[in-house]
Chains A and B, each alone.
Chain A
Amino acid sequence: MSGHHISSAKFLWGVAIALFILTFLTVAVTWIHIPGPWNVVVAIAIAVVKALIVSAFFMNLYWDSKFNVLLFVMSIAFFLLMIGITLLDTLYRTDPLPSF
């Protein structure tokens, strides 16, 4: 258990600069018009990398107890389950609900 990890100021700035660069990158890839659905895949991939950087190095999961990592991973797993089960219904309807 190392709940009191102290990051150096230089390290925190480095993390933020990496996030700024990835933000620029996610905007820049829209200028070259990647054909769909790859544009969505690229946008989500960059967002996932950014989210992993924030959770590992700003939220300190990298140094934290494994149980907190487990909580975070399980919430993502159940979120994906929610998407998956919902899409199994909505993608295979012959007609979407008419009033929505």
Chain B
Amino acid sequence: MSQTSSTEEKLDHLKHYFVDSDQQFEASKMGMWVFLVTEILFFGGLFVAYIVYRSWYPELYLLASEELDTFWGAVNTAVLIGSSLTVAMAIRSAQLNQIKGLIINLWITIGLACTFMVIKYFEYSEKFAKGILPGSAYSYEGVEHEKANIFFSIYYMMTGLHGIHVLIGIGLMVWLVFKAKKKVFHSGYYTPVEITGLYWHLVDVIWIFLFPLLYLID
């Protein structure tokens, strides 16, 4: 992909051990995909726990998921899909050298990610107030099943680990905004935006599965 534009090629980012910018970009992206593979298997363990306990106690999942508010789960799904769109738009802006658009799209993404976490905070605190806590701290009487705490332990582990990923994503995007303001990114170098985008889309994909599996059982 030769750059025939009028601006001269900027190569500050190019490490001496790569042949060219494209090779460096492809190597970084492949590295990110290897990391995403480990992330899929990391969450995979929790999905396996979910499946095993669901096969053992199918009626527990039907009862306990009624405590989860489908409406707010759906809103959060829409919020994350919206943020995936703005991340994709941020990458597009970087590819087109529109640094202002990149920064705006990153800020919208950060805003949507914070919206997700605020909704999650209200969902959690509503449950904490009822005594729906993970593991042995569980003290809620409203779900008539002796293993009720197991569903909520799985719920807290899965959504909690996902929430930590959202927080890390927010941190990464704030970092990208600062980098972008220092004019680090341009159409020839936007690797951190691209691979943070990959990470963010994976966080979205995991929520796409968490939403029907936890909220939509009935």
Residues of A within 8 A of B (CB): 1, 3-4, 6-7, 9, 12-13, 15-16, 19-20, 23, 26-27, 30, 39-40, 43-44, 46-47, 50-51, 54-55, 58-59, 64-65, 67-68, 71-72, 74-76, 78-79, 82-83, 86-87, 90-91, 96, 100
| Pair A27/B216 contact, Cβ less than 8 Å | yes
Could you tell me the dominant secondary structure of chain B's interface residues? helix
13 cross-chain CB contacts under 8 A: A3-B29, A6-B96, A13-B85, A15-B88, A23-B74, A23-B78, A43-B212, A43-B213, A43-B216, A44-B212, A75-B37, A83-B48, A91-B55
Q: Interface residues, chain B, CB within 8 Å of chain A? A: 1, 22, 25-26, 29-30, 33-34, 36-37, 40-41, 44-45, 47-48, 51-52, 55-56, 70, 74, 77-78, 81-82, 84-85, 87-89, 92, 95-96, 150, 197-198, 201-202, 204-205, 208-209, 211-213, 216-218
Q: Which residues of A contact B201 (CB under 8 A)?
A: 54-55, 58-59
Query: Smallest Cβ distance from A66 to chain B, in angstroms?
Result: 11
Across the A-B interface, give the 8 residue pairs with the lowest CB-CB distance, nearest first.
Answer: A43-B212, A16-B85, A75-B37, A79-B44, A75-B40, A19-B81, A68-B33, A71-B33
Give the docked Cα–Cα distance between A87 and B49 (Å).
Answer: 10
Bound together, the chains give a CA A47 to CA B77 distance in angstroms of 11
Complexed CA–CA distance, A75 and B34 (Å):
9
Q: Helix, strand, loop or mixed for chain A's interface?
A: helix
Q: Determine if A54 and B205 form an interchain contact, defined as CB atoms under 8 angstroms apart.
A: yes
CB-defined contacts of B197 to chain A, threshold 8 Å:
58-59
Q: Report if A54-B208 is in contact (Cβ < 8 Å); known contacts: A19-B81, A90-B56.
A: yes
In the complex the two chains form, is A79's CB within 8 Å of B22's CB? no
Q: Are B52 and A23 in contact (CB under 8 A)?
A: no
